[in-house]
Chain A
């Protein structure tokens, strides 16, 4: 089945450093990827929509200079948390739509997520 590979799965960094998270669609092309963030005991919150070859669309309240998104090809989107601070510690997960073979429905295929801890 369709797979989205997300790396790293966890990362610990010092305050002030930047961290890059990669998402690759392994067996399908994704012109659009969605980046979500999850705080403990809360729902997945959409941060931004990444579009291949163009600028990402950010949700209200998400700083685009803090969370840089690049979607350079049909199979790769990256999220860079710049000058990370402890409040950026969270779980980040990417996803892309694919069409289910059996039902024809468009469903999200997710990466496994990246847990970021900023010291």
Chain B
């Protein structure tokens, strides 16, 4: 069974703070790691898909790193804004295709206070 764990469960920061959270996943037979942002009353939206050890992806103020050997990924948000408030989900799957079943972590709920 593939377990994906995220920490912390929730996080409160002030506007302008930088923050980061962790996703850990089993490293055996790893294929890909996804990050999604899920705002209240909306659908989850894809942030990153990462496959290679040492991968680093960036989208605006948000970036992510991947360590497949030890089975973790970090998501960083630089200069948090209230609109960054959301639940951040990571998901992993093992296997040989890019259309596999994703196993999700329980998410990190980020609240950015103005």
Partner-B contacts on A (CB < 8 A): 4, 32, 34, 36, 41-46, 49, 93, 95, 97, 100, 103, 105-113
Contact = CB atoms under 8 A, between A and B. Distances in A.
B99 A32 contact: yes
B46 interface: yes
Contacts, number: 53
B46 A107 contact: yes
- B4, B36, B46: residue with the most chain A Cβ atoms closer than 10 Å: B46
Nearest to B44: A110
B105 interface: yes
Interface string B43-55: 1111001000000
Contact of A43 (B46, B98, B101, B105): B105
A34 B36 contact: no
Contacts of B91: 44, 108
15 contacts: A34-B102, A43-B107, A44-B91, A44-B104, A46-B103, A49-B101, A100-B49, A106-B49, A106-B99, A108-B36, A108-B102, A109-B43, A110-B43, A110-B44, A113-B43
Contacts of A4: 43
Nearest to A32: B99
A43 B4 CA distance: 9
A105 B55 CA distance: 14
Nearest to B42: A112
Contacts of B36: 108
B67 interface: no
Nearest to B45: A110
- A43, A45, A93: residue with the most chain B Cβ atoms closer than 10 Å: A43
